[in-house]
Chain A
Amino acid sequence: MNLKLRIWRQAGPAAAGRLVEYAADHVSPDMSFLEMLDVVNEGLTKKGEEAIAFDSDCREGICGTCSLVINGVPHGPDRGTTACQLHMRRFKDGDSVTIEPWRAAAFPVVKDLIVDRSAFDRIIAAGGYVSVNCGGAPDGNAIPIPKDVADLAMDSAACIGCGACVAACKNASAHLFMSAKISQFALLPQGHPERHRRVTAMIAQADGEGFGSCSNEGECQAVCPKEIPISNIARMTREYVKAALLAK
């Protein structure tokens, strides 16, 4: 099939960008979306033009590196999938496809479709961890954790930090990301010693990075490739209130 692409091209962080049209011809429905872009890039390279820069790594939906807004939806039209898992059979011959980078003040464009997501790393560094001292590895079952609680924590921990939640949110808020990271620890005993410090520090960091606030629309949970729900955001709020009341 043949597609008409409109792709955001921007030479560098400070350069002005614009949408450029490309034709993607002879696209196989079995290709992944990123393979389709690879083929377009091969064509550009052969013509001596600069290839379209986009992020990817695992290409199997587990690393969170790919980050494309496809026809107005982060990661494209399929629910619970990353852009790298999207396949061209999802499109029809003659379709026009607009591809843009994540848009947020806290995610500045590096080049074309690549944005700098190190703001997420700094939020994690502010408190998204448990401190473990050296010593012998503790017995795996030394602390009993009910299965349903462990499952809930695992669901939150499924966040791959891709930033689609920010990209989808009209406020470019990082609340879903933060709340998933906070929840995975708040639900488990290992996360409790640092819980108060964690939630206050991570929220302060995210606010400082220039992410927005939450309007409870839940666009984030609709685009999240791991389908992480906004009940995590409510849990983060509870953690925040507890921290204010109980932190020493």
Chain B
Amino acid sequence: MASRGGFLSTSVGTKLLIGVTGFLLFLYLLIHIGGNALIFFGPAVFNNYAYVMEQKNPLLPLIELALLAVFLIHAFKTVRMFLANQSARPVPYAMKKPAGTPSRKTLASSTMIVSGLWLLVFLIIHVKAFRFGPEYDWPAGGRDLYRQEMENLSNPLMVLFYILSMTVVGSHLFHGIASAVQSLGLDHPKWTPRLLFAGKVFAVIIAVGFMIIAAWVYLNQPGAGRVRV
């Protein structure tokens, strides 16, 4: 019988861990997109938000570490589970078709490992550019994150990469949000169908929202004519 130490290492425990970490990452993205949307209000508002979040928050290093841990656990556990799942069917079918309703299988659900690994690469590039990139001082306090973002997204290829990556995160969450809730053992005859739908809506909102931000930043480079959205 599984000991208490092994609670999170069984096939069900693994899914609990993946569900919790996946859902926390989703919640983080909600906060992240909220903060990022402030860019539409110009450098003063945006930089002040960053200043308050970064400099006035003694818990920040702790939150950063927790987020990193959550992310690493998610990536490690999902990759390991994927490999174990592959060896559970060593001989493939010559013909395999989706079974149709009430299956929840989608292109998104079938490519979670691909979208996940893409996000891993994207986030390394993304965090390097914003968290460890060149910094400029902002006179009112903190750093000029607005300028940093403008510069990071001035290259059309980079903008394209961001927009592609947002499609990928949308795909990951299209299956992921509702899946995480099921992994936690939460299910209800009335609420589950609504949750399945809401999860997809949130996935699209997050993906399209970030895309709009990236495109807006690219189109509003200092020196270029201002474009209104």
Contacts and interface: CB of A to CB of B under 8 A. Distances in A.
Interface of A: 6, 8, 19, 69, 71-74, 79, 98, 100, 103-106, 168, 170-173, 175, 197, 200-201, 203-204, 206-207, 210-219, 221-223, 229-231, 233-238, 240-241, 244
A33 B110 CA distance: 30
A204 B104 contact: no
Interface string B88-109: 1111111111111111110001
B194 to A, nearest CB: 14
A87 B109 CA distance: 32
Interface centre among B95, B184, B192 (most CB of A within 10 A): B95
Nearest to B186: A234
Contacts of B186: 234
24 contacts: A6-B94, A73-B97, A105-B87, A105-B90, A170-B85, A197-B1, A200-B2, A201-B1, A204-B2, A207-B11, A213-B81, A214-B12, A216-B178, A217-B109, A217-B110, A218-B103, A218-B105, A221-B102, A222-B103, A223-B99, A235-B187, A237-B184, A237-B185, A240-B16
A237 B99 contact: no
Contact of A240 (B13, B84, B89): B13
A120 to B, nearest CB: 15
Contact of B88 (A100, A212, A221): A212
Contacts of A204: 1-2, 10
Overall SS of chain B's interface: loop
Contacts of B203: none
B12 A240 contact: yes
Nearest to A104: B89
Given A104-B89, A216-B109, A219-B105, 16 more contacts: A69-B93, A72-B93, A72-B96, A72-B97, A98-B94, A170-B110, A171-B88, A171-B89, A175-B11, A206-B11, A213-B85, A218-B105, A221-B102, A237-B16, A240-B12, A240-B185
B12 to A, nearest CB: 5
Contacts of A104: 88-89
B187 A234 contact: yes
B7 interface: yes
Contacts of A213: 11-12, 14-15, 81, 84-85
Contacts of B15: 213-214, 237
Overall SS of chain A's interface: mixed
Contacts of A238: 185
Q: How large is the interface on B (under 10, 10 to 19, 20 to 34, 35 or more residues)?
A: 35 or more
A14 to B, nearest CB: 13
B12 A237 contact: yes
Contact of B187 (A6, A197, A221, A231): A231
Contacts of A168: 99
Interface of B: 1-2, 4, 7, 10-16, 81, 84-85, 87-105, 109-110, 112, 175, 178-179, 182-187, 189, 192
A241 B89 contact: no
Contacts of A207: 10-11
Contacts of A217: 103-105, 109-110, 175
A216 B182 contact: yes
B191 to A, nearest CB: 11
Contacts of B189: 231
B11 A100 contact: no
A69 B11 CA distance: 25
A210 B86 CA distance: 11
Interface centre among A203, A207, A216, A244 (most CB of B within 10 A): A216
Contacts of B85: 170-173, 212-213, 215
B92 A103 contact: yes
A238 B12 CA distance: 10
A98 B62 CA distance: 56
B117 to A, nearest CB: 16
Contacts of B175: 216-217
A176 to B, nearest CB: 12
